[in-house]
Amino acid sequence: MALTGQLLLAFLVVHAAGNSTLWAGLINAYASHLHALPPAVWAFRAALLVLLGLHVWQGITLTLENSAAKGAGYAVTSYRRATVASRTMIWTGLVIAAFLLYHELHLTLQVIHPEAAAGAHQDAAGRPDVHRMLVAGFGHAATVAVYVAGMVALGLHLFHGVASSLQTLGLHGPRSFAWLERCGAALALLLAASFVAIPAAVFAGLVK
């Protein structure tokens, strides 16, 4: 589970970097280059789906195993090290899974707000107008709310998951784990903020 989590984290970092081209007005060029080889793109998506499926399956399996090992539970529950993020990993993971389904329907398959689908509109250079699709799609408060909720769940999931997965892989020590926890928290905040910044900026009228 730690390994699949780290691979998914690497994808998130690359995805966030690609999304940042919006701020320079280069999102259409980026998307055009990215989809220049459709078979490769769909092969990558299939591999990512398998990776995500493994991660979800492993998460549910471990949660059930941990629950069974606890038996009837404790008469009094007291948390010394466990955080809200660590105690809700299975729930934030399920929220992220639901969000990803919405995200795919919205921006990949373009069946949500189809009137603004990039595939149906071209920019001045003849490329699918992803910029226009984002501006139109994130003009809806409900859509923005879904993205904000999804990114809050992602931030909480990564807040615990980044350091925990590194610890599982053995990359920790008495002195280094506190540092890993801080770096993991910072990365979680940075990624969640970078993803939520686009719908928030569009809805606020800062990107047109």
User: pLDDT tens-digit profile of 129-162?
Assistant: 999 999 999 999 999 999 999 999 999 999 988 8
Q: How confident is the model at residue 81 (pLDDT cuts 50, 70, 90)?
A: low
Q: Taking phi first (over 0 means left), then psi (-120 to 50 degrees means alpha), and beta for anything else, what does residue 151 get? A: alpha
Q: Across the strands, what pairs with 122? A: 128
Query: Is the confidence at residue 169, as pLDDT, over 80?
Result: no
Q: How confident is the model at residue 86 (pLDDT cuts 50, 70, 90)?
A: confident
Which of 168, 176, 158 has its CA nearest to residue 2? Answer: 168
Domain membership of residue 77 (yes or no) is: no
Q: Report DSSP state, residue 185.
A: H
What share of the chain has pLDDT > 70, as a percent? 90
Backbone φ and ψ of 128, nearest 5°: -55, 130
Domain membership of residue 20 (yes or no) is: yes
Note the Cα 64 to chain centre separation in Å. 24
Domain membership of residue 165 (yes or no) is: yes
Whether 128 contacts 121, CB under 8 Å: yes
- Give me the DSSP letters along 9-74: HHHHHHHHHHHGGGGGT-HHHHHHHHTSSHHHHHHHHHHHHHHHHHHHHHHHHHHHHHHHHHTT--
Distance, CA of 34 to CA of 60 (rounded, Å): 33
What's the average model confidence in pLDDT over 57-68?
87
Domain membership of residue 105 (yes or no) is: yes
Name the least confident of 34-38, 51-55, 151-155.
Answer: 34-38
Domain membership of residue 76 (yes or no) is: no
Average pLDDT, the chain: 89
Place of tokens 């992803």: 130
Tokens of 109: 């398959």
Q: Which domain holds residue 168?
A: 2-67+83-203
Whether 132 contacts 139, CB under 8 Å: no
Distance, CA of 108 to CA of 130 (rounded, Å): 10
Give the C-alpha distances (Å, rounded to integers) separating 104 from 124, 133, 176, 197: 26, 14, 38, 19
What's the average model confidence in pLDDT over 58-82?
70
Domain membership of residue 43 (yes or no) is: yes
Name the least confident of 80-94, 119-133, 150-164.
Answer: 80-94
Per-residue pLDDT at 80: 53
Whether 29 contacts 127, CB under 8 Å: yes
Which of 145, 120, 122 has its CA nearest to residue 203? Answer: 145
Per-residue pLDDT at 172: 65
State how many domains the chain has. Answer: 1
SS3 122: strand
What share of the chain has pLDDT > 90, as a percent? 63
Domain membership of residue 78 (yes or no) is: no
Is the pTM for the entire model greater than 0.85? yes
Domain membership of residue 56 (yes or no) is: yes
